[in-house]
Amino acid sequence: MEQDAPIWKRGWGWLEQQARLGVRSLRGHFVRRGVPAHRFGWRHVEAPPLRSSATGYRSIHAPARAENPLPLNFTSRDHLPNLVHWWGYSMRDVPDRLSDETFVATFQDATITAYRDALGEFYPGILSREGHAINLREIKFRPGHGEALRAAKAAGVTPVRRDRVVWVLERVHENHSHWLTAHLPKLLLVKQLGLLQHVLLPERLKPAQEASLRMLGIAPETLARHDESRPLLVSELTLIGTDRFRPELLRPVREAMAPPLPLAERTRRLYISRARARFRSLLNEDEIWPMLDERGFERIFMEDLSFEEQVELMRRTSCLVAPHGAGLTNMMFCAPDTTIVEIASLGFPNPNFYALAAAMGHAYYLVPADEHGDVEPLKKNMTVPPERLRDVMRMIDASTGAL
């Protein structure tokens, strides 16, 4: 029905939609005027600036503008894709990307809740004692958190109460890349601040998560665990705000877990295969493998290695080639100036590995791939025209004298 039609001709569906919008608007109106959000089942929650709810705030790193090089096979920033999507920045932004502030903030009488989406991925949400959302980069109060709180109340679930908590868990913490680039830097910083004893870990850790904690000198069995099925009420909550791609946060993790080896011991040339992956495989891997094989590359499958073995392998690597995927995050443990070659589709460009390579001080090349499959962008398989990869390998040969 046209929007300029008389109201009486627009039908019940339109009227129901307008009624729902009106109810939402009224909830927001009353909450903004001081009615507690729980009175409406947390269906409307305000999110004022974080500092307005904090009782303590300490800035550790001020926001900073990066000065990162272009991928070494690109001659102009304008040739990089400028699509932002949900990452909040594009590949074209990486050369002078703004890194967010690192801070420690304290709140009194906070509530933490969590839910999992249809894919089983973890989402935490935090409320201040005023009932306002305390939102960080990867921690935001969403409708699912209101549903979780309503369900817990209806089921008579008793909240967990703790006097003091340092909260580090972000969205999808089980994801290998998120764990390495977001959580390990936070945990190392918390350790340096002497606050580790107040951290809550997930109830279940993946083997790589547990191994990474031990390599940071953190014994998982000494820390309390978070029961995500119950709301958590905290008398004093400390939050750590970080940027995933700040060198000041990432490089200390490398120094703690994988101190760089002498150049003479960094001789391995590796290709990370995704041939066994459920999605985002390189379909013509066998076609491009001979040009890597003749240059002394080894084809590896990260899933065959323990996390400790992966880290040690990265320490001994001089050149790493891989299709876009979580295994590429392990470049964190390569010494500065390691050559990184990412094969990635630029149809749905994820800038994170470029930003990570820049933060770690690596020599980064980006090889555009063609995508295939009628599936969501992050799951599309790829092929790389051999000449594109060959051009980059020749550049690397020239830079290393391997002609």
In tens, the pLDDT along 319-369 reads 999 999 889 999 999 999 999 999 999 888 899 999 999 999 999 999 999
Lowest-confidence region among 191-195, 212-216, 276-280, 396-400: 276-280
Report residue 1's pLDDT band, with 50, 70 and 90 as the boundaries. Answer: very low
Q: Per-residue pLDDT averaged across 93-108, rounded?
A: 97
Say if residues 164 and 235 touch (Cβ distance below 8 Å): yes
Q: Per-residue pLDDT averaged across 228-247, rounded?
A: 97
Res. 14: pLDDT tops 60: no
* Res 33: pLDDT: 67
C-alpha dihedral sign at 379, 314, 219, 125: negative
Q: So where are the chain's domains? A: 39-44+51-60+100-252, 259-400
Distances from the Cα of 335 to the Cαs of 157, 259, 268, in angstroms?
Answer: 49, 8, 12
Res. 89: pLDDT tops 90: yes
Kindly write down the DSSP assignment for every residue of 110-165, as one continuous string.
EEEEEEE-TT--EEEEEE-TTS-B---SS----HHHHHHHHHHHHTTPPPEEEEEE
* Res 43: pLDDT: 86
Helix (H) or strand (E) holding 178: helix 176-178
Lowest-confidence region among 2-16, 175-189, 371-385: 2-16
* Res 85: pLDDT: 84
Lowest-confidence region among 6-10, 63-67, 205-209, 258-262: 6-10
Name the token pair of 383: 């092929």
Name the token pair of 75: 């001659």
* Res 299: pLDDT: 97
* Res 27: pLDDT: 67
Res. 403: pLDDT tops 50: no
Res. 2: pLDDT tops 60: no
Helix (H, G, I), strand (E, B) or coil at 246: coil
Residue 269 or residue 279, greater confidence: 269
* Res 16: pLDDT: 59
Residues 6+ apart with CB under 8 A from 77: 70, 92, 95
Fold exhibited by the domain 259-400:
Rossmann fold (3.40.50)
Res. 281: pLDDT tops 90: no
Report residue 77's pLDDT band, with 50, 70 and 90 as the boundaries. Answer: very high
Whole-angstrom distance, CA of residue 168 vs CA of residue 276: 32
What percent of the chain is modeled with pLDDT above 70?
91
Q: What would you measure as the largest C-alpha separation in the chain, in angstroms?
A: 81
Mean pLDDT (the chain, rounded): 91
* Res 393: pLDDT: 97
